[in-house]
């Protein structure tokens, strides 16, 4: 009764098993490298890459420096 599944089902099950074995092997390799003190640098936590909304203005676009000197206008705006 080994011939109860079709070709596609057999192939899908085989590919799933191969993928699972591949992921387990890479996980094991990464664990062994970490245990040996060798870090590959690819897998880091992703928390630090986000925007710190309390420290900076999100999506702020600063105006580029223009051709004209606006120092006295800035000084006048600071006075008021």
Tell whether the model's pLDDT for residue 42 goes beyond 80: no
Number of other CB atoms surrounding residue 30 within 10 Å? 15
11 neighbors 19 (Cβ within 8 angstroms): no
Asked whether 30 and 40 are in contact (CB, 8 A), the reply is yes
Please, what sign has the CA dihedral across residues 46, 49, 53, 59?
Answer: negative
Q: What pLDDT score was predicted for residue 23?
A: 96
47-60 pLDDT, tens per residue?
666 777 788 888 88
Question: With bands split at pLDDT 50, 70 and 90, how would you rate the model's confidence at 28?
Answer: very high
């Amino acid at each position: 009764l080994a011939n109860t599944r079709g070709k596609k089902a057999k192939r899908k099950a085989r590919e799933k098993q191969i993928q699972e074995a591949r992921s387990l092997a890479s996980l094991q390799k990464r664990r062994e490298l970490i245990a040996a003190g060798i870090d590959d640098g690819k897998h880091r936590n992703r928390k630090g890459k986000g925007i710190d909304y309390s420290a900076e203005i999100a999506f702020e676009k600063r105006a580029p420096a223009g051709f004209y000197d606006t120092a006295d206008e800035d000084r006048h705006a600071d006075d008021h």
